[in-house]
A and B are shown apart, each in its own frame.
Chain A
Amino acid sequence: MQEFKPKIVAFYCSNCASSAAEISNKLGLFLPENIKLINVPCTGRIEILHLLKAFENGADMVYVVGCQEDSCQYINGILKLKKRVAHVKNMLEQMGIEPQRLEVFSLYAGKGQDFVNIANEMLNRAKQLGPIY
């Protein structure tokens, strides 16, 4: 039996999350290979459709990494995104899909280790949940 290799899409912002990613690189920490990274100027740019399209195209997990709520450089981008994620989680549940397949994280710019920890947490969760289809 083939080992399940989850497909994971991760959106991350150009500010805090991007800084954290750079620091993780400098620390020699790397993301699991299953993760497809998508950079956005701010997590507030991510629309409901972007999240759904990732699942439609076969992603087993989708997560977003952005700034802390009080340090978003576009003021409330992360707050808007969190509301959209809550909306999509509600939709997923009605569609018979586990809402835990979608998640949003806020982290500080210097948290390189957390950037990688989040990815590993999502990978473990995906393995537990199994393939989406």
Chain B
Amino acid sequence: MIVAEAKPIKEILEMIEGFNKILVVGCKGCVTVCNVGGAKEVAILASAIRIAEKKKGKEVEVGEITLERQCDPEYIEELKDIIQDYEAVVSLACGVGPQFISERYPEARVFPAVNTKFMGGAVEHGVWAERCAGCGQCVIHYFGGMCPIARCSKSLMNGPCGGSNHGKCEVSPEIDCIWDKIVRKMMAQGRLDELLKIRPPKSWLTARDGGPRKMVREELAK
């Protein structure tokens, strides 16, 4: 899933300074799962905005709504009867959500309440780690089911590098050397010889480096 992190409340309050009618929009997708943008977090942010503005002597109207997802137009459409009642919209979805709202409702002033971080999963309760960099050409099957593009600091296709240090990356002792893990796993599976095959340099054309991407499914598109 997409993992995001809440922006500091101070930053959000500065963004909405001067607006008196604010709509806080959550998303029941990824940001609910990582406890950043679901219905509960919408209520928390709305309450925090009311308290902060009341402290300044202002009464603001803060609406709350949580959409099924903010990355599908049919759910963004659900805002059509209410969005004109508000001066500002604060979206707690990943980067897609506020942009979809902005595109559908071009007059709306839309603000992001979270910072989208990476594609990953929960490794323990309350901790999410990056697993996928969206490179567009998945090759984890060459590397024991692990991705060196997302999990190697240098995205090496033929690792490890000389900076691998007792299973940790030279960039930070908190980062596992994924190549250490890959080699050990391939050894355990009796497939170490497969790592002797030199992988060619990655083509980044399919990644973000090749420009903004689009995926079309001809059998589904009109």
Partners in one complex: yes
Smallest CB-CB separation from A95: which chain B residue?
A: B52
- Verify if B175 is at the interface (C-beta below 8 Å from A): no
For the complex of A and B, list the 10 residue pairs with the smallest distance between their C-beta atoms, beginning with the closest: A94-B10, A95-B52, A52-B47, A94-B9, A56-B47, A96-B55, A56-B51, A91-B9, A55-B51, A49-B44
Per the 8 Å Cβ criterion, residues 44-85 of A in contact with B are: 47-49, 52-53, 55-56
- Verify if A133 is at the interface (C-beta below 8 Å from B): yes
Q: On chain B, which size bracket covers the interface?
A: 10 to 19
A-B contact pairs, 19 of them (CB 8 A): A47-B40, A49-B43, A49-B47, A52-B47, A53-B47, A56-B51, A56-B54, A94-B9, A94-B13, A95-B9, A95-B10, A95-B13, A95-B48, A95-B51, A95-B52, A95-B55, A96-B56, A97-B55, A132-B55
Q: How many A-B residue pairs lie within 8 Å, measured between CB atoms?
A: 39
The residues of A that contact B9 with a CB separation of less than 8 Å are 91, 94-95
Question: Of B8, B51, B54, which is in contact with the most chain A CB atoms at under 10 Å from its CB?
Answer: B51
Please pick, from A48, A94, A133, the residue contacting B44 in the complex, using a CB distance under 8 A: A48
Distance in angstroms between the alpha carbons of A133 and B43 in the assembled complex: 21
The residues of B that contact A49 with a CB separation of less than 8 Å are 40, 43-44, 47
Per the 8 Å Cβ criterion, residues 1-56 of B in contact with A are: 8-10, 13, 40, 43-44, 47-48, 50-52, 54-56
Distance in angstroms between the alpha carbons of A48 and B8 in the assembled complex: 15
Distance in angstroms between the alpha carbons of A56 and B52 in the assembled complex: 9
7 A-B pairs besides A49-B40, A94-B13, A95-B51 with CB distance below 8 A are A47-B40, A48-B44, A56-B47, A94-B9, A94-B10, A95-B48, A95-B52
Smallest CB-CB separation from A58: which chain B residue?
A: B54
Distance in angstroms between the alpha carbons of A132 and B43 in the assembled complex: 21
The residues of A that contact B52 with a CB separation of less than 8 Å are 95-97
Distance between A130 CB and nearest chain B CB, rounded to angstroms: 12
Distance in angstroms between the alpha carbons of A53 and B44 in the assembled complex: 9
The residues of B that contact A96 with a CB separation of less than 8 Å are 52, 55-56
CB pair B40–A133 under 8 Å, yes or no, is: no
Distance in angstroms between the alpha carbons of A51 and B50 in the assembled complex: 14
Distance between A117 CB and nearest chain B CB, rounded to angstroms: 28
Distance between B139 CB and nearest chain A CB, rounded to angstroms: 40
CB pair B47–A97 under 8 Å, yes or no, is: no
The residues of A that contact B50 with a CB separation of less than 8 Å are 56
CB pair A52–B51 under 8 Å, yes or no, is: yes
The residues of A that contact B56 with a CB separation of less than 8 Å are 96
Distance between B48 CB and nearest chain A CB, rounded to angstroms: 6
